[in-house]
Amino acid sequence: MTDLKLNLKKIDPVRYALIIGLLMALMTFVIITIAMLFGSLFGPMLQATESDTSGFGMILGGGFIMLLIVPVVYFIFGFIFGFIATTVLNFILKKTGGLPLHFEKTEITTLQNQ
């Protein structure tokens, strides 16, 4: 097959920052949801002990507020730092002449060809 050589000169910072922010928010939402499921499973065992903090989780809605706020915060920070990182990358790409990328052209097989 033939090789395709391209040179990466610039990445759109806003689109990249949006992708990073959304991925961070989605991963945080999934992790907090799993943590809440395990917390609801083992929570009654913790409340059975004589602890002063047994009702502390209900102050903020039992974690549901955290399920909404933390992904938004992670999106904001992911967007900001993704934008900064892409801007720095674009500066480096501009100074170094780009990033050479090598692709190999392969044949696409479909179900009808098999």
SS3 sequence of 50-90: CCCCCCHHHCCHHHHHHHHHHHHHHHHHHHHHHHHHHHHHH
If one compares 67 and 110, the residue with the highest pLDDT of the two is 67
Residue 103 near residue 4 (C-beta atoms within 8 A): yes
* pLDDT at position 47 over 80: no
- Distance from C-alpha of 9 to C-alpha of 94, rounded to nearest angstrom: 7
pLDDT band at 44, cuts 50/70/90?
A: low
Considering the entire predicted model, what is its pTM? 0.70
The predicted-structure confidence for 5-32, as pLDDT tens digits, reads as follows 889 999 999 999 999 999 999 999 999 8
114 pLDDT more than 60: no
- Check whether 53 has a pLDDT greater than 80: no
The more confident residue out of 111 and 59 is 111
